[in-house]
Amino acid sequence: MKKITLALALAGTFLLNSCDMLNQVADQFVSVANLVNCDFSLKNVSNVTVAGVNVKNVTNGNLTAADVLKLVAAYNSKKVPLGMDVNVDITNPTSTKAAMTALDWILAIDGTDLASGVNSQGYTIKPSATTTVPLGVSADLADLFSKQGIDALKTFASSFTSEGVSSKVGLRVKPSMSVGTATVPFPDYIKLEKKTGTTTTPSTPSSPTLLKSAQ
């Protein structure tokens, strides 16, 4: 009798653990699947530097003599670093949480893809909430402007507004999801735009949008 009671107890424990595991798997699946319902938008851009020139200090597109010297020195050294901090908002409009494993990005200048990277930190976007994902975006512009010349580099550095945006710069992102032990990325990249209340739709990798201010 004791053996039967113990067996029943063990069976009950096994069933409870199995149910918990199934519930966890189901919860994960729903969270992952719900990521496709989220909206991706540009929150803001900050700390933009071109070859050491802080573009926030560029007034009305006019570079100082010191800025020009920095650009010329970088151009001659064939190392023209571009860096910026980009904050991406992920808004979940549903009543169910969403989950993301990573966020890949591609930077383009005048329609030419120059650099790529990834934020590999996982994020959970709560129901009816917005989560901000930071991206440290950087690239070397030396090859691009070696063909266009120093004047083109000066024009590029002058193209940024005080909010850190430029009509010449585009950024696209691609979220990834974990399904079991596999990582599954979105099929297409998403153009980053200022949130306007409309759903952001996937885009093809060959057509980056312009970074827009999110004031």
pTM exceeds 0.85: no
74 vs 103: CA distance, rounded Å? 31
- Residue 4: which H helix or E strand, with range? helix 2-33
Q: Which two tokens stand for residue 36?
A: 């496709």
164-175 tens-digit pLDDT: 888 889 999 999
Continuous H helices in 112-195: 142-148, 150-158
78 vs 145: CA distance, rounded Å? 9
CB-based contacts of 116: which residues, under 8 Å, 6+ apart?
Answer: 104, 105, 106, 107
94-144 tens-digit pLDDT: 998 888 999 999 999 988 899 999 999 999 999 999 999 999 999 999 999
Which residue ranges make up each domain of the chain?
A: 2-56+81-140+160-203
| Cα dihedral sign, 181-187-189-190 | negative
Q: Look up the CATH architecture of domain 2-56+81-140+160-203.
A: Sandwich (2.60)
